[in-house]
Structures are given as C-alpha cells and as structure tokens.
C-alpha cells in the first residue's frame, strides 16, 4: 500500500464565487489544536459548534458552524475539522491562510479522498465515484455514480473475487495433495464453478459498459456536402437553434459541438463544414477540421440531400459512390474502409420529395451492414429514429438496473479477468496440468484487485486523484 503523509492538510472545499455558504476543510493530527486556536474551545466529536472564527491577533475573520470528527470516525480516517462560514472568497482565503500559519499545508487535488482510500475508509472504485458524481452531466449519471459510491460495484467485484479465490484454493489443494488418496474436488464441479464465475463477470461487464457510456458519452459527427441539412439535424436533435441554418452552401465553416442527452445518454454532437473542394482558404480549413473530427468520431451520421440523390434506391454501389465523392474512402479501399462500421446514412429533406418514405433501411457493403434512415430534419419526421439508432449504437439501455459509473481501466481489468477465466475453462476441459488454470485464476484475481485498489501503484493513484477538485 502506498505511503500516507502524516502532516495536516487544508483546502477551500467550495468552488470560487459568491455563495451563501463557504467551507474550509482540515484533516490531520493538528486539527484539534487548530480548532482550539480558531474557535477558542476544545471541539466535541460530531457536534455542531456555532462560533466566531478568530484570526492571529484576536480579530473575527468570520462567524459560522464548526464540525469536528475524531479519527477514525471521519471521512479521511483522521481528525477532521470543517469550518462552514460565508461564501466570500476573501473570507475563505483568510481562514485558509490562518490555518496554514497554524501548521497545516495546502492540500493537493483529491488528497482528502486519497487519504480516505489509504486509511481503508473507502476503496478505489468508491474514491473515483466521488469525482464522477461531481462531474455527472445527467440525472442517470448521478444515480449511477451514487450507486458506485455506496459500494454497489465494489460488492459485486468482491463477491465474484471470493468465488474465484475459493475455486483457485480447491485447484491448488489438488496440486499440493496430488499424491494423497483424497477426492478433493471433481473437475466437473470446478468447471461449473468457473462457468458461474464467467457468467458473473459478464453481468458485471455489461453494467460497467453502461456506466462507462454514462461517464464518457459518445461522439457523433454530422458530415456531408454543403446544404445537406447537417445543421438542421443538429438543431432537431438538440431541441434548440444552436447552429445557423441558411440556404447558402458553406454557411458552417468550422466545427460546432453541442452536448445533449438522450434518455440519460450524453452525446457530443459535432456539426462540421460541408465536404467539398473549395478555393476559399477558410472553407478549406473547415473541411480539413471536419475530416479530422470524422476520424475521431464514435459514430458518423452522413447527411445526404434527397433532392440531389438520383439513384434508384440504396445500393452498395451508391454508398461507395457517396463516400468516395466526399473523400472519405478511396476507390482502392472501398467497402473495406473501417469508416463503414461507424457510418449511418441519413437521407434528409424527404418532405421535398414526392412519395419519399420515412423510416429505416440498410445496405450490405462488402459484409458491412450500413444503416440508412430517411428523415426530414425540417419537419422532425424520422428524427426520433435517429435518436433510437444512436442509443442502439452506444449499446445503451436506460432501463438496465445494475448500472454503475465505470472507467476505462475498470473495463480493461474486467475484460482481462474474463479472458483469463475463459482460459482456465479451456485448460480444464483439455485436461491440462492444474498449474495452468491455477495461474489463470491467480492473474484474474489480481486484475479484480486492481479495480478496487488492492493492487495498485503510486503512479496510478497520482493519475486518479490529480483529476479531483481541490478540497475533495
């Protein structure tokens, strides 16, 4: 376990600006002596003191409520003092500076939560959930972060880890006592145990994927030729007129990003400049940025003006032609382009075409099923289909019960654990030496421990907690 400092830390725990209440937080062995000098009294554990906050020469810096928590019954596991005064930046700075003169130092970002983790008050998943709760961009994300903070994710990891350890113990006992005439456990029973563990890991992985989507959102780029209706679709999806819409081709010269939520799913929708050759230096730079955004997107909505699409129906050839005309694929790469896996064709302006349908279609391009949606961004017809399609692409299901905020490192560790358990199952089925599945399970156990922080490094902790706000 990484080393924990024994010095006393302090920080302003509320954001800068004007507010009714401002909080200064202190944690460490000097918290009691600091409280005595600022409050003029010996603080009582878990008691709200209404008091003046005194400066060095006896002047009153502020007036408010002081809360004291004696270790280990505190958030950090140390003596903690919290001064709740008025939310004026100068008042809070004076209190903070007074506390520093009394022997504390300014806390690093996330250091209070780091100390809570190092003192075994919370595990690493719960610590990360604190920052995720603060940064949540939707109500669904808030609920998921709270579930994680309350230990839902950690308990699931612990339960599957206990099953994994129990199975590993049985296998290693069979190795150690192979010469004894003892039927420790049958291979069939071990196989059933491993299958159960794999099933649990799959369930946890699904919940973690949903949580990762809630945390990170999905990047969606609107691409297409000038005046195809990209900005109109952005406005239809966002519900506000965030993009300028005119009949003049090339109105959008730069990328425009709008953050929206679909049933709790965060989306970063990027409107781009129309893809075409141009002699205008500004427009050429816009096209360059559009192609860069396309390369980095999770999903691409390729908007096509139905009025200019003269093909009868939608075919692989017409899709290739469209992508090629926009410079998104070369004739050589054609349907083998990886862009196809994340591209959806949106045929817009169906309201201007006689007998044009509204709905979904698809076309097989060299084994890649490209979804086609016919809409009118102007009237809103078919836009709901686009919303549903984006949720489907993200694998998002707002009705999923076991959703908890997860990070990329959690998904990586779960994926590695899952593959190791699969390897153990294969080794058992093949009659391999028991040392092989035992090693698979040892490594899987370690990966699950990385999630909760049982196995971690100073570098990882530094990276995680440095992203926290100061005072938390």
Does residue 25 have a pLDDT over 90?
A: yes
Spatial distance between the Cα atoms of 24 and 399, rounded to a whole number of angstroms: 40
Are 268 and 150 contained in the same domain? no
CA dist 330 and 323 (Å) reads: 8
Higher pLDDT, 259 or 53: 53
More confident residue, 240 or 443: 443
Same structural domain, 365 and 263: yes
- Residue 142, pLDDT above cutoff 70: yes
* 319 neighbors 345 (Cβ within 8 angstroms): yes
Is 419's pLDDT higher than 60? yes
pTM: 0.68
Q: Which helix (H) or strand (E) holds 425?
A: helix 408-429
Instruction: Please tell me the predicted confidence (pLDDT) of residue 237.
Output: 83
Q: Is the pLDDT of residue 457 over 90?
A: no
Are 183 and 111 in a shared domain?
Answer: no
Domain match, 20 and 74 both: yes
Q: Which residues sit opposite 265 in a β-bridge?
A: 262
Task: Please check whether residue 464 lies inside any domain of the structure.
Answer: no
More reliable by pLDDT, 106 or 355: 106
CB neighbours of 359 closer than 8 A, spacing ≥ 6? Answer: 373, 374, 382, 385
Q: Which residue has the higher pLDDT, 287 or 390?
A: 390
Residue 223 falls inside a structural domain: yes
Looking at the structure, tell me whether residues 175 and 269 fall in a common domain.
Answer: no
What's the pLDDT score for residue 355? 62
Mean pLDDT of 46-75: 94
pLDDT at 347: 87
**Residue scoring higher pLDDT (119 or 176):** 119
pLDDT bucket at 63, cuts 50 / 70 / 90: very high
Q: Residue 319's pLDDT is what?
A: 67
Q: What is the spatial distance between Cα 267 and Cα 219, in angstroms, rounded to a whole number?
A: 6
Instruction: Give CA–CA dist 220/297, Å, rounded.
Output: 6
Boundaries of domain holding 432: 134-214+404-452
Best CA proximity match to 258, nearest among 286, 276, 275, 239: 239
Number of domains in the chain: 3
Same domain assignment for residues 208 and 152: yes
Going by pLDDT thresholds of 50, 70 and 90, the confidence category of residue 47 is very high
Identify any residues that bridge with 270 across adjacent strands, giving them in sequence order. Answer: 221, 257
Does residue 459 belong to any structural domain of this protein? Answer: no
Of the residues 121, 155, 186, the one at which a domain ends? 121
- Average pLDDT of the segment spanning 12-31: 92
Two tokens, residue 271: 């409107």
Which pLDDT does position 105 carry in this prediction? 95
Is 292 inside any structural domain? yes
Note whether 338 and 299 are same-domain residues: yes
Q: Are residues 380 and 232 in the same domain?
A: yes
**From CA 404, how far away is CA 406, in angstroms rounded?**
6
Q: Extract the tokens encoding 413.
A: 């560790």
Task: Please tell me the predicted confidence (pLDDT) of residue 252.
Answer: 44
CA distances in angstroms from 38 to 8, 27, 273, 319, listed in the order given? 15, 15, 59, 72
89 belongs to a structural domain: yes
Residue 200 has pLDDT above 90, yes or no: yes
Q: What is the pLDDT of residues 209-263, one digit of tens each?
A: 777 777 777 888 888 777 788 888 888 887 765 544 444 444 444 457 778 887 7
Q: What is the CATH number of the domain that holds 83?
A: 3.30.1360.120
Average pLDDT score, the chain: 81
Q: Residue 1 domain-assigned?
A: no
Given a contact cutoff of 8 angstroms between Cβ atoms, the answer to whether 179 and 228 are in contact is no
**Residue where a domain stops, chosen among 89, 121, 153:** 121
Residue 141, in any domain of the structure: yes
The two counts, helices (H) then strands (E), for the chain are 14, 13
Which tokens sit at 316?
């692989």
- pLDDT for the residue numbered 243: 44
- Which of 121, 149, 177 is where one domain is finished? 121
Q: Is 359 among the domain residues?
A: yes
> Domain holding 161: CATH number?
1.20.120.430
pLDDT at 298 over 80: yes
CB-based contact 396:265 (threshold 8 Å): yes
pLDDT of residue 273: 62
pLDDT band at 160 (very low <50, low <70, confident <90, very high): very high
């Amino acid at each position: 376990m990484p080393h924990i400092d024994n010095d006393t830390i302090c920080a302003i725990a509320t954001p800068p600006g004007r507010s009714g209440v401002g909080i200064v937080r202190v944690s460490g062995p000097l918290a009691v002596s600091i409280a005595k000098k600022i409050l003029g009294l010996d603080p009582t554990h878990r008691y709200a003191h209404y008091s003046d906050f005194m400066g060095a020469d006896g002047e009153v810096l502020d007036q408010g409520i002081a809360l004291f928590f004696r270790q280990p019954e505190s958030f950090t596991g140390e003596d903690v003092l919290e001064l709740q005064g008025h939310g004026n930046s100068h008042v809070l700075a004076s209190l903070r500076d007074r506390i520093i003169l009394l022997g504390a130092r300014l806390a690093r970002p996330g250091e209070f939560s780091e100390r809570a983790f190092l003192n075994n008050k919370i595990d690493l998943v719960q610590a990360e959930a604190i920052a995720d709760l603060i940064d949540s961009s939707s109500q669904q994300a808030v609920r998921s972060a709270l579930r994680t903070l309350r230990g839902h994710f950690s308990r699931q990891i612990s339960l599957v880890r206990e099953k994994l350890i129990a199975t590993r113990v049985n296998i290693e006992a069979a190795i150690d006592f192979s010469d004894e005439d003892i039927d420790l456990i049958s291979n069939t029973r071990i196989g059933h145990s491993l299958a159960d563990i794999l099933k649990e890991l799959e369930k946890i992985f699904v919940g973690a994927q949903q949580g990762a989507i809630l945390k990170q959102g999905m990047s969606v780029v609107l691409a297409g030729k000038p005046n195809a209706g990209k900005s109109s679709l952005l406005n239809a999806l966002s519900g506000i007129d965030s993009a300028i819409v005119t009949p003049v081709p090339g109105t959008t010269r730069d990328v425009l990003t709008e953050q929206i939520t679909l049933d709790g799913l965060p989306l970063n929708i990027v409107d781009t400049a129309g893809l075409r050759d141009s002699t205008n230096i500004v427009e050429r730079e816009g096209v360059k940025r559009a192609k860069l955004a396309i390369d980095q997107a999770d999903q691409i909505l390729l908007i096509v003006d139905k009025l200019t699409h003269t093909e009868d129906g939608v075919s692989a050839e017409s899709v290739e032609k469209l992508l090629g005309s926009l410079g998104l694929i070369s004739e050589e790469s054609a349907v083998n382009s990886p862009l196809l896996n994340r591209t959806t064709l949106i045929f817009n302006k169906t309201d201007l075409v006689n007998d044009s349908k509204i709905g979904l279609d698809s076309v097989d391009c060299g084994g890649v099923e490209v979804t086609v949606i016919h809409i009118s961004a102007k009237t809103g017809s078919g836009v709901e289909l686009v919303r549903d399609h984006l949720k489907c692409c993200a694998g998002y299901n707002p009705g999923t019960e076991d959703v908890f905020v997860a990070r990329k490192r959690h998904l990586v560790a779960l994926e590695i654990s899952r593959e190791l358990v699969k390897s153990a199952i294969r080794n058992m089925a093949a009659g391999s030496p028991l040392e092989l599945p035992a090693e698979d399970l040892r490594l899987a156990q370690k990966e699950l421990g990385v999630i909760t922080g049982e196995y971690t490094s100073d570098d990882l902790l530094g990276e995680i907690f440095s992203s926290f706000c100061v005072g938390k």
